[in-house]
Amino acid sequence: MRLRMLQAALYLLGICGVAHGVLAATAPIIPPPPSIAASGYLLMDADTNKVLVENNIHEPLPPASLTKIMTSYIAAVELAAGRIKEDDQVLISVKAWQTPGSRMFIREGTRVSVGDLLRGIIIQSGNDASVALAEHIAGSEDAFANMMNQQSAELGMGSTQFVNATGLPDKGHYTSAWDLALLTRSLINRFPEVYALYAERAFTFNDIPQPNRNRLLWRDKTVDGVKTGHTRAAGYCLVASAKRDNMRLVSVVMGTESDEVRMRESQKLLSYGFRYFETRKLYEARVPLKTAELWYGEAENIELGVLEDVYITIPRGHYNDVEAELKIAKVIEAPARAGQEFGELRLLLGDELTYSAPLVALADAEEAGVFSRMGDFIYLFFGSLFSSD
């Protein structure tokens, strides 16, 4: 039998705190975000999902060729699943060849590899390439649009509906700045090998060289994507992403007046975010944050942690003002299973809760024999007599 009545009484208090520093006496002072000349815009941290600047972010708007981010995303899903391969040869249909707008200049009846079509979509913004790849993956562009909408639902893109793979104008074809940021964030984090194509500055096909339409790639060496779009209804749009040090930001501007304006406004957003905010990784997934008392178990303790890496985005220079708090169940009983929730990790900056996540068991904990469990029951019973709860 284990003599731990005093430990039990202390443990029943149930809360422990771990601080990175002393709380700041005053709240962080940050200037207001810049004025942005766009119908809808957003600046988001790609690791934490924290929105730093926003306006009309959920308003459905025509996306023009920003649609092709989803077209390439579906292709990335299919490549990862092994249902298509980069060297697959795609037969070009009459419909793909005749699709109007920006073009890769593929020809009817020829065969083009999936890899080349992806570059034609991403770098050259080819509508013809988009239709050809859509037909190869789903059999028809309509069926592909259905796949796009299913994927949108999985990503939580609640203000989005696609009817084609190109972004050519249609009243039923729309998305929002928020939804595009969610999509881009997922593309970057889930399919880095496909996202890397967005940083390529030019692509030549059929002896016709074409530059990447995202001219921010030349203006800012930290920018490595993403996609431009333009129609009369949509105006000039740009989703951009840049990484500086360990921080990656995604900006979305929709409905600007010109190519120059969409670049300028995107640069404003990115500069503001990198100047006044920072992102830090605080804890790693599945690394113990707390060893807690275990009752009725073969072991006396159980290790608790988080299931995903913990990142926070905070005003620059205020990392030491972040306070971490672990709230743990008063009594943890065996049997317990890996992933079972027994508390919460909370990160605070002043009075603001900046992050929270469940504290979970990092491994299974088996139940002890009957005599050991009986001893723990007695200790818990008498320990409760000394508790003020």
Catalytic sites, residue numbers: 65, 68, 125
- As given in the structure block, the two tokens for residue 165 are 């793979």
- As given in the structure block, the two tokens for residue 267 are 């640069």
Tell me the sheet residues that pair with 344: 327, 358
First to last CA, the chain: 26
Give the span between the Cα atoms of 151 and 166, in whole angstroms: 16
Q: How many C-beta atoms lie closer than 10 Å to residue 122's C-beta?
A: 28
Q: How many C-beta atoms lie closer than 10 Å to residue 336's C-beta?
A: 21
Q: How many C-beta atoms lie closer than 10 Å to residue 373's C-beta?
A: 16
- As given in the structure block, the two tokens for residue 132 are 């050809």
Maximal C-alpha separation, the chain: 85
CA distances from residue 301 to 3, 138, 355, 366 in whole angstroms, order as listed: 14, 53, 26, 11
